Amino acid sequence: MIQYVLGRLVGTVPVLLGVTVLVFLLLKFVPGDPVVALLGEEAQGMSAQQLDKLREAYGFTDPWVVQYGRFLQEFVTGKLLSLRTETPVLTEILQRFPYTLQLTAVALGLSVLVAIPLGIAAAVRRDTRWDHLITTISLLGISIPSFWFAIMIMLLFALQLRWLPPSGSGTPAHLVMPALTLAFGTLAIQIRMMRASLLETLPQDYVRTARAKGLAPRQVLRHALRNALIPVVTVIGLEFGSLLGGAAITESIFAWPGLGRLTLDAVISRDIPLVQGVVVFAAVVFTLVNLTVDLLYGLLNPRVQYG
């Protein structure tokens, strides 16, 4: 097991290097001048020579290879600075990450608590009115855009009923609507995956054997669930890693100070080092989450071997 984990961690190094190269090159092709975007209206009163000096000071005139090497060195040593605030990028990320982690944990916890029972119920009661109702709910979750859902619940719970604060952070009440928005979008996929996986598992031989031995339906279902949960855990892991990278739209609508909002602000202001840092950080988190999910397979199914 330890050898497998170490091998996976070593294997992530070239992946992360590839991510840094890709992010660096993609940001180079983004139109616009980062210095002008950074200065805003102040840039209109500056001459071309002054702007050139600023570009040279920030290192934007250096060859791409030099810029990439400098970015990599500064990121690894924690010296990469934000252009807007001139504070270390890693510091800004670590200040925002707890908010995103909190939002992701609550949203995913809610969606799992709702989606797994509904997916099981839809599979066990296949082609009944319950199955159709649950399938309809999952279709709504997939079809409704998250920004529309977020605005609707904001209008209902914040403006009409005045039960919850419309935006911000600081109390558990601030967390409710952003978590509901993310949970509604993710539970739909989890319901469909749970239903499909269980329907595929229930006709298998070992399940029929369990029924033939006279096991109670609840015990048969428990045996089937161990295998049926593997693809569901994969989906949950992917969603967890994706949400930890920041839910930009949801966090912006509710003014939630997480990584998603930080990334959006950095993109708008063309704070290239901050964008690069957030993307690489999200890639690291996503890789570690995937590794954790792979290790969970062995707990769900002892036949899964590592090596």
Using one digit for the tens of pLDDT, what is the confidence trace for 67-92?
888 888 888 888 888 888 889 999 99
Q: Does the pLDDT of residue 307 top 70, yes or no?
A: no
CA distance 135 to 257: 34
Q: Is the dihedral of CA 257, 258, 262, 263 positive or negative?
A: negative
CA distance 154 to 148: 10
From 54, 160, 176, 43, select the one nearest 107 (Cα to Cα).
176
* Residue partners of 167: CB distance under 8 A and separation at least 6: 154, 174, 253, 254, 255, 256
| pLDDT at residue number 104 | 92
Give the residue carrying structure tokens 């003014």.
Answer: 255
CA distance 305 to 298: 7
Q: How confident is the model at residue 186 (pLDDT cuts 50, 70, 90)?
A: confident
Q: Does the pLDDT of residue 119 top 90, yes or no?
A: yes
From 241, 252, 258, select the one nearest 103 (Cα to Cα).
258
Q: Does the pLDDT of residue 181 top 80, yes or no?
A: yes
- Note the pTM of the prediction, 2 decimals: 0.83
Q: Does the pLDDT of residue 230 top 80, yes or no?
A: yes
Q: How confident is the model at residue 4 (pLDDT cuts 50, 70, 90)?
A: confident
Q: How confident is the model at residue 100 (pLDDT cuts 50, 70, 90)?
A: very high
| pLDDT at residue number 304 | 67
**Burial (0-12, 13-18, 19+ Cβ within 10 Å), 32:** exposed
Q: Does domain 92-300 have CATH number 1.10.3720.10?
A: yes
147-165, pLDDT tens digit by residue? Answer: 899 999 999 999 999 999 9
Q: Does the pLDDT of residue 64 top 70, yes or no?
A: yes
Q: Is the dihedral of CA 40, 43, 44, 45 positive or negative?
A: positive
Q: Does the pLDDT of residue 306 top 70, yes or no?
A: no
257-287, pLDDT tens digit by residue? Answer: 999 889 888 888 878 888 888 988 888 888 8
Side-chain half-sphere exposure of 19, counting CA atoms within 13 A: 18
| pLDDT at residue number 246 | 63
